[in-house]
Amino acid sequence: MKKYVKLYDVTALYPIWFLLLMPNTWIFLIATQFILASFVLLGGLKYMEYDDISSVWKKTIIWNTLYGFIGYPITCGILFSTQFISETMPKGEWLLENLTTPIATNPFSHLTSAIFIIVVVAFSAFIAYIMNRFFSFKKTNLSKAQVNRLSIYLAIITAPYIAMIPSITLYNSMF
C-alpha cells in the first residue's frame, strides 16, 4: 500500500519568500511596525498622563519596534514546525487532520488548530511583553507599574495576528 503525501504551501504564514524576492518590502514592514509601536507607545503614555512623552519615545521606540517584529518569526517557526508531523507518528493521522492541515489552510476550521494558533500568537505576544518589560524601558524614568502597563499595551496590540488569517483566502483569491 502506497502512502500519499499532501503538500500545502505554508508560505502565507509569514511572507519570508516575499521579503527575499522583494527586499524593499522589509522597509515597508519595519516602517509599519515602527508606526504601530509609535501609536501604541504615544497613546499609552498620553493615557497615563505622563509628562515627558517625547523623551520616552526617543529612548524606546527602536527597541519596541524590534521586539514587536521578533514575534512574527517566532510565530512562523512554531507554525511551520507543525508541517513536519508525519502519519507514522503516534496520533499522526489525527494531528494531520486536526492541526497540520487546518493551520496550513484555515486554522479556524477545527477547534484544535484554532486553540493552537491562538496559544502561539499569545506566546509571541508574551515574548514581546517580556522583552519590552525588562529591556526596552531601562533608560527611562517610568515607574514599574507604567513600564508594565506599556509593555502589556505593546504586546497585545502588536501581536502577530496576521498568522490567524486563513491562507486559503489567498489561494481562493488568486485562482
Q: CA 174, 97, 161, 10: dihedral to nearest 10 degrees?
A: -50
- For residue 165, pLDDT over 60 is answered with yes
Let me know if residue 8 belongs to a domain.
Answer: no
Let me know if residue 47 belongs to a domain.
Answer: yes
Domain count, the chain: 1
Let me know if residue 116 belongs to a domain.
Answer: yes
Break the chain down into helix, strand, coil percent, rounded to 5: 75, 0, 25
5-58 pLDDT per residue, tens: 444 444 444 445 555 556 676 777 788 889 999 999 999 999 999 999 999 999
Q: What pLDDT shows up at residue 104?
A: 82
Let me know if residue 9 belongs to a domain.
Answer: no
Please give the residue range of the domain that contains residue 53: 16-174
Mean pLDDT over residues 81-108, rounded?
81
Rounded to whole angstroms, how far apart are CA atoms 57 and 142? Answer: 12
The pLDDT confidence band at residue 72, using thresholds 50, 70 and 90, is: confident
- For residue 131, pLDDT over 90 is answered with yes
Let me know if residue 11 belongs to a domain.
Answer: no
